[in-house]
């Protein structure tokens, strides 16, 4: 019985030190709400869209932009076959001609009308009759146009014929050439504008890297080695065999490729950025060729790169647009080729590194990390907590801030104000987010019955002291600590335990059961005899004592620690739980008392689930370790937790569990 008597003494002492200080409210994961909202406004971003109802009309819209006063020459390409067409951008620039599109056997009305508007005299058809039928040629000739077909036996031959016509139009031998995959179109798109700017032909190469004989013949006819060969795309597009193939015809060569079509595009535009004299960027979809084909001519005419993009930018694209993209400082514009079906406004915003205002807040206990949307046109971001200005940030790409001056008890409202200027127009938008916390005040959740059971609290005064009876029937007065919330350290300990021991598949009930079993297996029930009592007293004296710290970090405690820690974990998980201080009895009508008529102070836990109060117990009594149980109704547990003394019913125990059975 020594162990039982020591229990009362330690409970009474440590309760006086901090038992209720440790029994504090908390909030659970499902009770933490982070809400966010953003202001809505129309921002006149520096972007224009060049588009029509279909690819034919988009080509016409590009032509009108490039040649508003007309053009003597027009290049006509298939709307459904990229191979013969994409090598035509350098020729189009040399001829001062737009590229328009045609169906295989009929020139669309929109294309015919644009040829008329341009006042064109000559139409150059790219490709053989397999891609553009003779009927198209006949239709054009009937309109009085001079028609020239540029075609080879295949795409390699056609690219060679295009190079010959370009040389004839410029009157000079090219100094460089671009080599792109003949199998797919994206790398040819990336080369189209810069090849035209540099007056360099574009040649097709298959995956093996072998040059077609017709291309070799043309390069040999130039009479001397050209300066540079630019290979566009990685080795999966064109193998390194190309390096040996081109050696006889070029002084030097270089490969420009990335992990995918978008990275390759960024690499090419970065590498040749000094050749682009225009400020604007032309943007086309990377999933089709037609808009980029016709738009590449306009981009080259204005000395600008052509970019391709999808919904999400790659890291290399982001780096490129951050360094050379659309900003207020440059005063440039994003020219979008095609309608929303080709390039969405969200994709355009991504390219401009602009996102609609938004704010998220990540709760870190004693900190909150804010993250908001980037804005490349920023003047400043202003970060507010409630009405307090926390920071002013002028770097447009700094989109995080950590507030390290908060605590677990309070809820906080954050706001980030965007100040930015686009084309001289100033805008102010903001986004807000709130960290909501719900804490449990111990006394506010106590029912009358629970309060009545707190015998140790019945004589509380405003100054908070109380009387309690210990195991030796002596009356003592102890200090009472106000019940607030779990300390920051306690909360961190609970979170650490949860991360290390709980899995995402566990229910909350399973997490509580796991905690109880862990306590039973790992925690030392400290007594005077084994030195545990001295350790607990030392912790109380040096300020390290708390239920959570004792159990989860030091793995030592008595009834108040065991049950206080279990209650704290239940509060952490979102249960409406609290600690109860009462008395435990050991008498029965037969006189079997396991200690005579003695009764002593004890702590246990209660939890309210769906309006019903349950009792739980994490106390370990050595050989009576069967006391541990969870969430059982009073009527089902250890003879109702009641005993009768001097004709009066008192809450407590009159039996104990042994091997799952009640022993009186």
Give the least confident one: 308-312, 484-488, 615-619.
Answer: 484-488
Give the length of the chain. Answer: 664
Q: Is the pLDDT of residue 70 over 70?
A: yes
Q: What pLDDT sits at residue 480?
A: 27
**Dihedral, 344, 347, 352, 356 alpha carbons, nearest 10:** 90
| Beta strand extents in 353-502 (DSSP E only) | 359-363, 368-372, 378-385, 388-393, 400-403, 412-422, 425-436, 465-469, 475-479
Which residue is listed with tokens 């901090």? 18
pLDDT band, very low/low/confident/very high, at 630 (cuts 50, 70, 90)? low
- State the pLDDT at residue 485: 43
Average pLDDT over residues 66-89: 92
Sign, CA torsion 327/262/96/138: negative
- The region of weakest confidence among 122-126, 368-372, 456-460 is 456-460
Pairing of strands 334-337, 281-285: parallel
Judged against a pLDDT cut of 50, whether residue 15 lies above it is answered with no
| Shared domain check, 271 and 221 | yes
* Structural domain of 464: 2-31+440-663
* Residue 623 pLDDT class (50, 70, 90 cuts): very low
Question: Is the domain of 308 the same as that of 170?
Answer: yes
- Look at residue 487 and tell me if it is in a domain: yes
How high is the mean pLDDT of the chain? 79
Within a domain: residue 242?
yes
Q: Which of 436, 453, 482 is the C-terminal boundary of a domain?
A: 436
Please check whether residues 370 and 515 belong to one and the same domain.
Answer: no
3-state secondary structure of 263: helix
**Which stretch of 137-146, 346-355, 580-589 has the lowest confidence by average pLDDT?**
580-589
Any domain includes 480: yes
Same domain, 327 and 288: yes
Between CA 417 and CA 431 the distance in angstroms is: 7
| Residues 187, 316 within the same domain | yes
* 41 found inside a domain: no
Pairing state between β 176-181 and 146-150: unpaired
Segment 169-224, tens digit of pLDDT: 999 999 999 999 999 889 999 999 999 999 999 999 999 999 999 999 999 999 99
**Domain-embedded: residue 13:** yes
Please indicate whether residue 395 or residue 577 has the higher confidence score (pLDDT): 395
Residue 627 has pLDDT above 80, yes or no: no
Look at residues 436, 455, 485 and tell me which one is the last residue of a structural domain: 436
Q: What is the pLDDT of residue 513?
A: 79
| pLDDT tier for residue 504 given thresholds of 50, 70 and 90 | confident
Q: Which of the residue ranges 103-117, 244-258, 543-557 would you say has the lowest mean pLDDT?
A: 543-557
pLDDT band for position 408 (cuts 50, 70, 90) = low
Q: How far apart are CA 539 and CA 13, in angstroms?
A: 12
My answer on whether 330 and 227 are in the same domain is yes
Q: Which residue has the higher pLDDT, 130 or 644?
A: 130
How confident is the model at residue 450, as a pLDDT?
33
Contacts 24+ apart (CB under 8 A), 157-161: 157/212, 157/214, 158/83, 158/84, 158/87, 158/126, 158/127, 158/128, 159/87, 159/201, 159/202, 159/203, 159/204, 159/215, 160/203, 160/212, 160/214, 160/215, 160/217, 160/218
pLDDT digit string, tens, across residues 218-255: 999 999 999 999 999 999 999 999 999 999 999 999 99
Higher-scoring residue by pLDDT: 63, 522:
63
Say if residue 608's pLDDT is above 90.
Answer: no
Going by their DSSP bridges, the two strands 73-78 and 122-126 should be labelled as parallel
Of 459-463, 517-521, 630-634, give the lowest mean pLDDT range: 459-463
Average of per-residue pLDDT across 103-122: 97
Quote the pLDDT of residue 606. Answer: 72
Query: Is residue 655 scored above 50 in pLDDT?
Result: no
pLDDT of the residue at 469: 31
Does some domain include residue 38?
no
Arithmetic mean of pLDDT, 516-540: 81
Pair (76, 190) in one structural domain: yes
* Percentage above 90 pLDDT, the chain: 54
Q: What whole-number percentage of the chain has pLDDT above 70?
A: 75
DSSP characters over 81-143: --TTTGGGHHHHHHTT--EEEE-SS---HHHHHHHHHHT--EEEEES-TTTS-HHHHHHHHHT
**How many CA atoms within 13 Å lie on the side-chain side of 515?**
34
Whether 344 and 359 map to the same domain: the answer is: no
Q: Are 177 and 194 in contact (CB under 8 A)?
A: no
Q: Which letter does DSSP use for residue 500 in this model?
A: H
Q: At what angle do helices 559-572 and 488-501 cross, to 10 degrees?
A: 80
What's the pLDDT score for residue 361? 92
pLDDT of residue 39: 53
Q: Within a domain: residue 404? A: yes
- Residue 36 — very low, low, confident or very high, per pLDDT cuts 50/70/90? very low
**Measuring CA to CA, which residue among 525, 629, 568, 524 is closest to residue 27?**
568
Q: Of the ranges 73-82, 118-127, 490-499, 526-535, which one carries the lowest mean pLDDT score?
A: 526-535
Within a domain: residue 79? yes
Q: Which residue has tokens 């002084």?
A: 251
Pick the most confident of 266-280, 409-423, 437-451, 477-491. Answer: 266-280
For 220, residues 6+ apart whose C-beta sits below 8 A from its C-beta are 249
pLDDT value at residue 482? 27
The answer on 67 and 19 residing in a single domain is no
Higher-confidence residue of 205 and 642: namely 205
Residue predicted with more confidence, 599 or 78: 78
Q: 405, 436, 467 — which closes off a domain?
A: 436
Mean pLDDT, residues 487-513: 86
Residues 347 and 364 in one domain: no
pLDDT at 587 over 80: no
The Cα–Cα gap between 265 and 182 comes to: 17
CATH of the domain at 412: 2.60.40.10
Query: Which residue from 166, 358, 352, 169 is spatially nearest to 178, judged by alpha carbons?
Result: 166
Vertex 344, ends 342 and 349: CA angle to 5°? 135
pLDDT tens readout for residues 132-170: 999 999 999 999 999 999 999 999 999 999 999 999 999
Do 309 and 400 lie in a common domain? no
Nearest to 548 by CA among 529, 526, 570, 532: 570
Mean pLDDT, range 531-540, rounded to an integer: 80
**In the predicted model, what is the mean pLDDT of residues 648-659?**
42
**How many domains does one find in the chain?**
3
Q: 44 near 422, Cβ under 8 Å?
A: yes
Same domain, 555 and 647: yes
Higher pLDDT, 605 or 138: 138
At 647, the pLDDT band (50, 70, 90 cuts) reads low
pLDDT grade for 359, boundaries at 50, 70 and 90: very high
DSSP-assigned letters across all residues of 209-222: -PPPHHHHHHHHHT
């Amino acid at each position: 019985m020594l162990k039982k008597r020591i229990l009362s003494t330690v409970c009474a002492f440590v309760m006086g030190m901090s038992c209720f200080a440790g029994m504090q409210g908390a909030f659970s994961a499902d009770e933490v709400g982070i809400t966010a909202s953003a202001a809505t406004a129309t921002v006149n971003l520096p972007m224009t869209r060049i588009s029509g109802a279909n690819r034919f009309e988009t080509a016409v819209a590009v032509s009108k932009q490039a040649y508003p006063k007309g053009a003597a020459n027009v290049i006509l390409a298939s709307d459904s076959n990229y191979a013969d067409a994409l090598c035509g951008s350098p020729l189009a620039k040399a001829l001062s001609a737009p590229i328009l599109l045609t169906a295989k056997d009929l020139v669309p009305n929109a294309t015919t009308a644009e040829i008329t508007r341009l006042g064109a005299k000559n139409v150059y058809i790219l490709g053989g009759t397999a891609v553009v039928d003779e009927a198209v040629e006949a239709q054009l000739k009937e309109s009085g146009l001079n028609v020239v077909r540029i075609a080879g036996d295949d795409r390699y031959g056609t690219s060679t014929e295009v190079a010959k016509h370009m040389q004839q139009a410029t009157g000079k031998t090219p100094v460089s050439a671009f080599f792109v995959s003949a199998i797919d179109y994206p790398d040819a798109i990336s080369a189209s504008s810069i090849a035209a700017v540099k007056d360099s032909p574009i040649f097709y190469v298959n995956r093996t890297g072998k040059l077609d004989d017709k291309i070799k013949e043309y390069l040999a006819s130039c009479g001397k080695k050209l300066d540079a060969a630019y290979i566009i795309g990685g080795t999966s597009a064109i193998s390194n065999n190309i390096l040996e193939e081109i050696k006889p015809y070029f002084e030097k060569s270089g490969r420009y490729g990335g992990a995918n079509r978008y990275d390759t595009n960024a690499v090419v535009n970065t590498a040749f950025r000094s050749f682009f004299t225009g400020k604007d960027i032309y943007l086309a979809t990377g999933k089709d060729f037609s808009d980029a084909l016709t738009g590449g001519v306009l981009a080259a005419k204005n000395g600008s790169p052509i970019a391709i993009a999808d919904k999400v930018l790659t890291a290399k694209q982001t780096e490129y647009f951050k360094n050379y993209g659309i900003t207020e400082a440059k005063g440039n514009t994003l020219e979008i080729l095609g309608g929303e079906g080709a390039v969405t406004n969200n994709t355009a915003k991504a390219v401009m590194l602009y996102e609609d205002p938004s704010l998220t807040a990540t709760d870190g206990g004693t900190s909150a990390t804010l993250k908001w949307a980037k804005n490349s046109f920023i003047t400043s971001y202003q970060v507010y907590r409630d009405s307090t200005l926390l920071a002013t940030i002028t770097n447009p790409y700094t989109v995080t801030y950590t507030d390290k001056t908060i605590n677990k008890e309070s809820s906080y409202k954050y706001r980030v104000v965007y100040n930015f200027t686009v084309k001289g127009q100033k805008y102010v938008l903001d986004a807000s987010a709130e960290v909501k916390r719900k804490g449990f005040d111990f006394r506010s959740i106590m029912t009358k019955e629970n309060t009545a059971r707190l015998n140790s609290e019945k004589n509380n005064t405003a100054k908070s002291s109380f009387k309690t009876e210990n195991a030796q029937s002596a009356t003592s007065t102890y200090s009472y600590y106000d019940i607030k919330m779990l300390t920051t350290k306690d909360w961190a300990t609970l979170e650490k335990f949860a991360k290390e021991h709980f899995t995402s598949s566990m229910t909350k009930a399973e997490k509580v059961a796991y905690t109880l079993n862990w306590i039973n297996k790992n925690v030392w029930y400290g007594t005077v005899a084994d030195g545990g009592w001295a350790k607990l007293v030392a912790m109380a004296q040096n300020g390290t004592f708390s239920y959570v710290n004792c159990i989860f970090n030091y793995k030592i405690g008595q009834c108040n620690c065991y049950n206080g820690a279990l209650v704290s974990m239940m509060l952490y998980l979102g249960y409406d739980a609290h600690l109860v201080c009462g008395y435990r009895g050991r008498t029965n009508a037969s006189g079997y008392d396991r200690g005579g008529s003695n009764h002593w102070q004890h702590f246990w836990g209660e939890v309210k689930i769906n309006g019903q109060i349950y009792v739980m117990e994490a106390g370990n009594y050595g050989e009576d370790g069967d006391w541990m149980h969870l969430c059982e109704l009073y009527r089902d547990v250890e003879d109702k937790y009641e005993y009768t003394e001097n004709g009066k019913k008192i809450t407590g125990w009159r039996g104990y569990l042994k091997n799952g059975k009640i022993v009186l």
